[in-house]
């Protein structure tokens, strides 16, 4: 049951591109379905390398990235994204484990991630955060014009 929104808002949301980067298929699918449900256009990448290629082809407005992945890891991706696309909003997500989230998330924030989440996260909070960040981006964009 999709939330009742005005068509205009819906179209506007659909026009918003979100790039989800995670090497875990299931996490990626969860985020895609959640954001689909919320009405956004979702593009997926399995690692930072693929993500950067996709971003250069057609930039997304917001990126949700895992921090520890093979090929190109999250921190590096965040810093490349911010360098090439200063306006893109970034949400960093990290799981616990051998190297705890405490170690990486603050660095991610320093590198330019707008929000940080630890696994397991609340998808509702992710959706709320995405909406908030994009609203903010739109407002900024309007100012620039």
Residues 6+ apart with CB under 8 A from 120: none
Interaction of residue 4 with another protein, rule CB under 8 A: no
Interaction of residue 26 with another protein, rule CB under 8 A: yes
Nearest to 109 by CA among 79, 134, 85, 139: 79
Q: Which of 86, 97, 142, 144 binds another protein (CB under 8 A)?
A: 97
**How does DSSP assign 62-98, residue by residue?**
EEEEESS-SSS-HHHHHHHHHHH-TT-EEEEEE--SS
CB of residue 38 to another protein, shortest distance in Å: 9
Q: Which of 10, 12, 13, 34 binds another protein (CB under 8 A)?
A: 34
Identify whether 41 is preceded by a cis peptide bond (ω within 30 of 0).
no
> Given the rule CB under 8 A, which of 33-41, 43-51, 56-64, 130-138 is the region that contacts another protein?
33-41
CA distance 129 to 123: 10
**Choice between 31 and 113, CB closer to another protein:** 31
Binding site for another protein (CB under 8 A): 1, 24, 26-27, 30-31, 33-34, 37, 95-100, 102-103, 118-124
């Amino acid at each position: 049951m999709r939330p009742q929104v005005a068509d205009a808002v819906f179209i506007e949301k659909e026009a918003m591109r979100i790039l989800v980067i995670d090497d875990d298929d299931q996490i990626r699918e969860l985020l895609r379905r959640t954001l689909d449900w919320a009405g956004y256009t979702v593009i997926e990448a399995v690692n930072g390398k693929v993500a950067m290629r996709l971003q250069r082809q057609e930039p997304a407005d917001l990126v949700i990235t895992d921090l520890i992945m093979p090929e190109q890891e999250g921190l590096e991706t965040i810093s490349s994204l911010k360098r090439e696309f200063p306006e893109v909003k970034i949400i960093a997500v990290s799981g616990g484990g051998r190297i705890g989230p405490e170690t990486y998330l603050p660095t991610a924030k320093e590198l330019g991630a707008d929000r940080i989440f630890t696994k397991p996260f609340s998808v509702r909070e992710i959706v709320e955060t995405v909406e908030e960040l994009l609203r903010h981006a739109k407002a900024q964009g309007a100012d620039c014009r």
